[in-house]
């Protein structure tokens, strides 16, 4: 089943924040907007949570390696 397309205009400041989040998380604007709507509707995307956990584990491993160098 094809997912419906939803569009809307947002203030420039929100767009700037969205771009920053996109850069920080590596997620697409579409993914971020979907997550935001999910939060508003009190729904959690389990795949998104799993992806965040995988990223956190990678960062924790990198942190341990960096602290070992110090």
What is the structure's pLDDT at 53?
86
Specify if 53 maps to a domain.
Answer: yes
How many domains does the chain fold into? 1
What is the structure's pLDDT at 43?
77
Specify if 27 maps to a domain.
Answer: yes
What is the structure's pLDDT at 1?
85
Specify if 62 maps to a domain.
Answer: yes
What is the structure's pLDDT at 49?
76
Specify if 21 maps to a domain.
Answer: yes
What is the structure's pLDDT at 48?
76
Specify if 33 maps to a domain.
Answer: yes
Per-residue model confidence as pLDDT tens digits over 21-39: 999 989 999 999 998 998 8
Domain that holds residue 35: 12-69
Taking 70 as the pLDDT cut, the residues of the chain under it are none
Specify if 3 maps to a domain.
Answer: no
- pTM value is 0.60
Which residue in the block uniquely carries the two structure tokens 């009190």?
Answer: 42
């Amino acid at each position: 089943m094809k997912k419906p397309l939803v569009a809307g205009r947002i203030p420039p400041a929100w767009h700037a924040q969205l771009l920053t989040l996109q850069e920080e998380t590596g997620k697409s604007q579409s993914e971020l907007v979907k997550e935001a709507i999910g939060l508003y509707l009190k729904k959690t995307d389990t795949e998104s949570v799993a992806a965040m956990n995988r990223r956190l584990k990678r960062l924790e491993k990198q942190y341990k390696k960096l602290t070992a160098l110090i």
